[in-house]
Amino acid sequence: MPLLGSRAVFTPTLLACYGITAAVHVASIVLNTLLPFHVVDLGGTKTQVGLLFSVMTMVSMFLRPTVGGWVDRFGARPVIAPGIAALVLTSLALQLATTPVAVIILMVGLGIANGLITTPASVLTALSSPAKHRGEALGTYYLAGSLGIAIGPPLAFGLRAVGGMRLAFAVVVAFALVLAVIVARLPANVAGPAAAGPRRLRLISRSALAVSFALVLSTIGHSSVFAFLPLYAVGQGQTAALAWFFVIYPVWLITWRALLRGVSDRLGHLRVSVLAMSMLAVAYLVLALPPTTPSLALAALVLASGNAVLYPTLAALVVERAPEAERGLALGTLSGAWDLGVVVGSVLIGAIADRVSYGAGFAVGAGFAALGVGALGIGVGGPEMAPHTPPTLAAPRQSRGAPR
């Protein structure tokens, strides 16, 4: 059953991780889709829309490496629980916010929630999966998260049409309660402290720096897709074309991610990462063109193809290269790099959209993604670009001493 994959990636613990990422991504995409319109309705500017995502992701960016280290030491469940509480409290407070500035300030709470929920879940997925199926397990984890991209936008617009932002915020609270139920049911033996966790405090994992730097560059344009593409297309009278983008993108992303979950285990994590990152650069170039139905459909296909495998493969690559005792810290470093790219990109592209055009902003995203391809090949390449050797029992020891 190639579509379902190995039974090794469907253990109770991994299934719980998949449920966590599905629920938190639906809730996050609902907010990410509607908050730009909400801020504009409150009188906000394009730059403030960019700051909306910058504040949230900046908090997550600083939290994630530390959170990964906490998971190494204390386990996942004690770290996720406060994140769920932060998501509930922030969603309730958003109902009372009446100015763009107030909404932007409340993004701190969402950043805390995001960092405390998603990082431990991804670390637990990596640590609970066998080495020879780690790419497949992480691919399945992010496949479950892709449900948020598929369900989130139509759910968000439906909620806005029926009950406005108040109803949308209430539904996010409901998803947080679902998260609480899933986390409470995690087996105690996987939620407890990790005996191998490092005893000294480290803010980042040096083994993950090269991969993380490349990810920062490739992520500069990411926030523009959800923050600025709707405004760009609607402003050009291309509402129907925008609808096609948000139909094609999630369907292709989910299909491709389901079919290619284990491809990096067979072909090599680095090779697949370089190809996927190259596709992002091409997709942003297409988005820089004046929006039409054909251009947005093509951009959706190419962007989804790259995103389907990029982050899961980079996560597997980072775990492969990290010392066993700090794999959580390494994944936290990678996750923080994603947020750093979003923080820089949302402000940079928001400013370019204000002063030049939306198309120029997407072109800048393409240029940075191309730089990311070069950084990944140079910083992590060399022997690792050789044909991939399936993991063996000795593989973790070899990865500790591998050239960085």
- For 324-368, give the secondary structure using H, E and C: HHHHHHHHHHHHHHHHHHHHHHHHHHHHHHHHCCHHHHHHHHHHH
304 domain residue, yes or no: yes
The two structure tokens encoding residue 233: 């297309």
Torsion angle defined by CA atoms of residues 366, 371, 375 and 376, in that order, rounded to the nearest 10 degrees: 20
pLDDT digits (tens, 9 = 90+) for 347-387: 888 888 888 888 888 999 999 999 999 999 888 865 444 44
Would you state the pLDDT for residue 237?
83
Could you report the per-residue pLDDT of 207-259, keeping only the tens digit for each?
889 999 999 999 998 877 877 888 888 888 888 888 889 889 888 988 988 88
pLDDT of residue 84: 94
The segments of the chain whose pLDDT lies below 70 read 1-5, 187-201, 381-404
Query: Is the CB of residue 117 less than 8 Å from the CB of residue 24?
Result: yes
Pair 23, 151: CB distance under 8 Å: no
Block residue for tokens 């190494």:
72
Whether residue 278 lies inside any domain: the answer is: yes
Structural domain including 304 reads 7-387+395-400
Torsions phi, psi for 304 (to 5 deg): -65, -40
Residue 50 lies in a domain: yes
Averaged pLDDT score across all residues of the chain: 83
Say if 208 falls within a structural domain: yes
Predicted local distance difference test score (pLDDT) of residue 189: 54
Cβ–Cβ under 8 Å, residues 127 and 329: no
In sequence order, what DSSP letters do the residues of 170-191 get, joined into one string? HHHHHHHHHHHHHHHTS-HHHH
2 in a structural domain: no
**Domains contained in the chain, number:** 1
* Residue type for position 327: R
Is residue 216 in a domain? Answer: yes
Quick check: is 83 in a domain? Answer: yes
Q: At what angle do helices 327-355 and 293-321 cross, to 10 degrees?
A: 150
Residue 345 belongs to domain with CATH number:
1.20.1250.20
For residue 382, the model assigns a pLDDT of 53
Residue spans of alpha helices (H) in 268-292? 269-287
DSSP 99: S
Asked if residues 39 and 48 have their Cβ atoms less than 8 Å apart, the reply is yes
**By C-alpha distance, which of 285, 284, 282, 301 is closest to 293?**
301
Helix axes 134-184, 12-41, angle to 10 degrees: 80
In a domain, 1, yes or no: no
Question: What pLDDT, on a 0 to 100 scale, did the predictor assign at position 33?
Answer: 86
Separation in Å, CA 302 to CA 4, 277, 279, 379:
24, 11, 6, 25
Q: What is the value of pTM for the model shown?
A: 0.75
- pLDDT reported for residue 153: 83
